[in-house]
Amino acid sequence: MLKAILFDLDDTLIDWRNPATNWQEGSRTHMRNVFNYLSNHIHPLEDEDGFHDLAWELTLQEWDSARRTLQAPHMGDILVKTCLTLGIPAEQIDTEILLDVYDWQPVPGVVPFDDVHEVLPILQQRGIKLGLITNAFQPMRMRIRELDAFGLTGYLHPNCRLSAADVGFLKPHPRIFQAALDALEVEASETVFVGDSLEADIIGAQAVGIRGVLRVNNGFSRPTSIIPDAEIRSLHDLLPYLEEWFA
C-alpha cells in the first residue's frame, strides 16, 4: 500500500531554470549583510569583496569535498570558517546569528512548477504522507521561507522537511533517505521518491528500496546506467504509476 511520497525540492517542486540573478551575485548580497553585521558589531573588517570571495572559495571547497564524502556541507560552518580565517576570535562568533543576518530569501525568478499546486493536494487528499529531502547546505529553518512563500509548507509533513545540512548527509547517502522513512514511520516499499537527479535522487532512493521516479525537465534524460522506475514530465504523470504499483 502506498503510504508516502518523498520529493526533492530544487528543480522538482520549484523551477530554477530562470533565476533573475545568478547564484554568485545573489550570494554577494547576503554576504554583505554578514560583513556589515560583523564589522559594525563584532570585529573591524575592511574588505567586503575579499570577505565575499573568501566565503565563496570556502563554499566551493566544502561542496567539492562533500560530493566525495557525502557528508553534507553547512552554510553556518562556512560562515564560521570565513570569520576564523579573518582572525575573528571564536568566542565572538555565533553561528545562528550569522545565519540570521545572512537573511536567506526566496530567489527572484524561481517559482513552483505549475503542476505542484495541482497534484500535491490530490495526493494529500488521498491520505498519502508527503515529505521533502533536499541536498541544501542551508538548514531547513532558512529554506522554509521559500516553502512558505510558495505555499508549499502545508503539503509537507512537519516531521519530514529535511535539509541535508540538518541531517548531515547528502543524497544519495542512505542515511538521509532512512531519516525520512523514520520521520514518516513508513517502510521503503510503501514509499515513492520523485526527483530530477539520477545520481542523487534515483540511485539513492533505489538503494534503500524506494521506487525512484525521475522528473525530466528538459525534454529527455541522458543515457546512464541508472534506470529510474519511471520517468515523468509532469507530476500529473505520476498518478497512473501510483495506480499501477499500488493497485
**Binding positions for Mg ion, rule: CB under 5 A:** 8, 10-11, 196
**Could you tell me the smallest distance in angstroms from the CB atom of residue 6 to Mg ion?**
12
Q: Which candidate, 151, 152, 245, 153, places its Cα nearest to that of 193? A: 245
Q: How far is the CB of 204 from Mg ion (least distance, A)?
A: 12
CA distance 57 to 62: 9
Of 8 and 166, nearer to Mg ion (C-beta) is 8
Shortest reach from residue 170's CB to Mg ion, in Å = 12
Task: Read off the C-alpha cell for 1.
Answer: 500500500
Decide whether 62 or 201 has the Cβ nearer to Mg ion: 201
* Cβ at position 47, least distance to Mg ion in Å: 35
For residues 220 and 233, what is the distance between their CA atoms, to the nearest angstrom?
9
C-alpha cell at 189: 516499499
Q: Which CB, 73 or 83, lies closer to Mg ion?
A: 73
Question: Closest CB to Mg ion among 34 and 132?
Answer: 132
The least CB distance from residue 133 to Mg ion, in Å, is 10
- How crowded is the C-beta side of 87, counted as CA atoms within 13 Å? 5
**Gap between the Cα atoms of 30 and 188, Å rounded:** 39
Q: DSSP secondary-structure letter at 13? A: T
Nearer to Mg ion, 79 or 170 (CB): 170
Q: Secondary structure of the chain: what % helix, strand, coil (to 5)?
A: 50, 15, 35
CB of 218 to Mg ion, least distance (A): 13
**Residue among 8 and 146 whose Cβ is closer to Mg ion:** 8
Q: What are phi and psi of 121, to 5 degrees?
A: -65, -35
Residue 93 CB: number of other CB atoms within 10 A?
18
Give Cα separations from 58 to 107, 118, 195 (angstroms).
22, 40, 28
Tell the smallest beta-carbon distance from residue 4 to Mg ion (Å).
Answer: 19
Minimum CB distance to Mg ion smaller for 28 or for 171: 171
CA pair distance 94, 37, nearest whole angstrom: 12
Amino acid letter, 46: E
Residue 148 has a CB neighbour count (10 Å cut-off) of: 12
